[in-house]
Chain A
Amino acid sequence: MIRARDVVKEYEDGDGARVRVLDDMSLDVEDGDFVAVVGPSGSGKSTLLHLLGGLDIHYRGDVEVGGVKLSGLGDQALARFRNSHVGFVFQSFHLIPNLSALENVLLPSHFGAGTGDARKRAEALLERVGLKEKKDRAPVRLSGGERQRVAIARALFGGPRLLLCDEPTGNLDAATGAGVIRLFQELHQEGLTVLAVTHEDRMSAAARRVLRLKEGRLVEESSPSAPVASQGAP
């Protein structure tokens, strides 16, 4: 699903000096895997997600996602890729405040995604995340967990095979977070590939693989603590 080779990403800091965030980073993720990425604040986790999701193209190296080689894609092609190949879930949800839950889920449809009855599809997705009754509510009238579920439904709208999640439980209390984690597990069991940046132990515990971002590279974390993950596993 993901194949990244020798990726180098640098930022310029305020003084014009270059700071290397990803340093010859390589990554392989199998189709249908559930991967957690951990690492200290500022280690480049969000940066990595943006590269994989085609939101950032200023790097060296090769990134291939779902058979699409991202380096070298034009703006239109990248937009199409984001529209239907990946779904983003952010820590602070990033819902558009003056749109209802349903309209937020429908947002990708304006940029091409979802042939057929977009509205029906969005309603089905809201039902899937357990918010059928609240589809017409504005985001301010939803709880944090509900907002994140709306955001997940939106990420699923284009029918992606990969979900990229940036601390999806970071703004949620433990109980709500657990619910969201369970949702990811279910989606994973339905065949979706999930790559989640997280600080939360329960999230990494739910994942099948845990990678640590360290000095610009990803290293395999020794065996994830199994108990929680084994819940739904065979």
Chain B
Amino acid sequence: MRLEALSRLVRLSLARERKGAFFSAFGVAMGVGALVFFVGLGLGVGRVIREKIFPTDSRLVDVVPPAVSLGSLLGGGKLDAAAVERLAALPGVEATYRKMGIRVPAVTRYDGSFFGARLRMGMEVLAVGVDPGLVRSDVAMGEFKDAGDGQPIPALVSTRLLELYNKTFAPARKLPQLSANMLVGFGFPVEFNRSYVAATAPGPVTAAQAQVVGASDRAMFAGITIPLETAIRLNRASGVDADTFTGVTLVASDPARVPALMEAAKAMGFEIDDQERRLAENAGAAVALTTSALALLSVLICLLAAVNIAHAMSASVRARAREIGVMQAVGASRSDVRNIVLAEAGVVGAFGGAVGTAVALLLALLVDRFASGYLPSFPFKPESFFSFPWPVVVGGVVLGLVAALCGAYFPSRRAAATDPARTLAG
């Protein structure tokens, strides 16, 4: 039977059973639409978590000295240059980036204009020095290196801190919204080895000017991130430990090697700071779980739609027994009859799947519109809560098709088994 003939017969019978076909397609559209919508939502929220809230790079391993340093008594667990070299020599390590916290308190006292507003504040500052390679791509101004005594200190701020500032702090204090670009070049004074709240080291106070050179995912959340050499110099000037590092970030050559690297670092007496990764994983898992539950529900709807199609098709096949007999008498084979029924269901299913997918996409668009127009701004509020990679879109249509074909399977076999001699007699 030619495709053209098949499509003509299918069109004819669908035109006649318009109402039934519509309800069948509606059921499929409900199931597929719900599935596409929820999967898109899950993927979208997952993406926000991955890219904005906990942007973890799957190849990075943060090695830190043990919190309670039994190791130091035994001569291990100290993250000094030698230890870094040993870590760098581990198989699968592509690069190492050292970090050293400023080990004395620091404060900033700011009194001046702040992007059009007037700002007066004094606040404790935390700072960490990192190997420039770790953040190089986020530096928007000058070179990220120690410029020496008396020179401005290049500082990176955390993109997440910036987000929190914009969404919660700035509105509450009526301060201007800031973008990373606006901040670049902004300078503020920092006094190292001075504190409002804590004891300071015996060394002198070092006053310096910090200058924002960019925002980075990898920058310290509550504080500023400065070149490692600067941190070493400042610690040394204050007379505190300037030889051991507060952490080393290992870059694995492949995400698959990360677990082995973690094990090796632990075996060397260090700990792994995987708080971020854990948080990301937990949040991701929660989203995945919710998405799965909703997806399961949607699949159930699809299943119901298939059952509904099975029901409608067997009723229609029964009602058309004589017509099927006539077609057999004029030359329809059993497989022709089966194909006609399957094609009818297939058209209904693909149509329902396409409509359901389209409605889901439209609904997602409306939700995003609503969110951007009516929901108040909140930290990490994304442009879109949804993500619809093409397999999801195509999958929606295919699922509709498959559900309908499954539903039509038995009715089509029953139709093919029609005994023309019986239906045509009389």
Q: Which positions in A face B, CB cutoff 8 Å?
A: 46-47, 50, 53, 55-56, 75-76, 78-80, 82-84, 88, 90-92, 94, 96, 98-99, 107-113, 154, 157-158, 166
Contact = CB atoms under 8 A, between A and B. Distances in A.
Nearest to B332: A111
A96 B326 contact: yes
A75 B334 contact: yes
Contact of B326 (A46, A79, A84, A94): A94
Nearest to A164: B329
Which secondary structure dominates chain A's binding surface? helix
Contacts of A82: 328-331
Interface in B372-426: 419-421, 424-426
B329 A75 contact: no
Interface in B215-241: none
B336 interface: yes
B1 interface: yes
Given A55-B420, A82-B328, A94-B326, A76 B12 contact: no
Interface in B9-57: 9, 12, 15-16
Nearest to A103: B12
Given A96-B323, A111-B5, 10 more contacts: A50-B424, A55-B420, A76-B335, A79-B331, A110-B1, A110-B6, A111-B1, A111-B332, A111-B333, A113-B330
Nearest to B1: A111
Interface residues of B, number: 29
Nearest to A93: B326
11 contacts: A50-B421, A55-B424, A79-B332, A79-B333, A79-B334, A82-B329, A90-B424, A94-B424, A99-B12, A113-B330, A157-B330
Contact of B327 (A53, A84, A107, A166): A107
Interface string B57-100: 00000000000000000000000000000000000000000000
A111 B339 CA distance: 12
Contacts of A84: 331
A158 B332 CA distance: 13
A163 B9 CA distance: 25
Contacts of B326: 94, 96, 107
B145 interface: no
B331 A55 contact: no
A47 B421 CA distance: 8
A107 B333 contact: no
Given A109-B5, A111-B336, A80 B331 contact: yes
Given A94-B322, A94-B326, A154-B330, A79 B336 contact: yes
Nearest to B325: A94
A73 B298 CA distance: 47
Interface in B117-176: none
A83 B331 contact: yes
A57 B323 CA distance: 20
Nearest to A112: B331
Contact of B328 (A79, A109, A154): A79
B257 interface: no
Contact of B331 (A50, A96, A99, A113): A113
Contacts of B424: 50, 55, 88, 90, 94
B330 A75 contact: no
Contacts of B369: none
Contact of A110 (B5, B15, B325, B426): B5
Contact of B329 (A47, A55, A99): A55
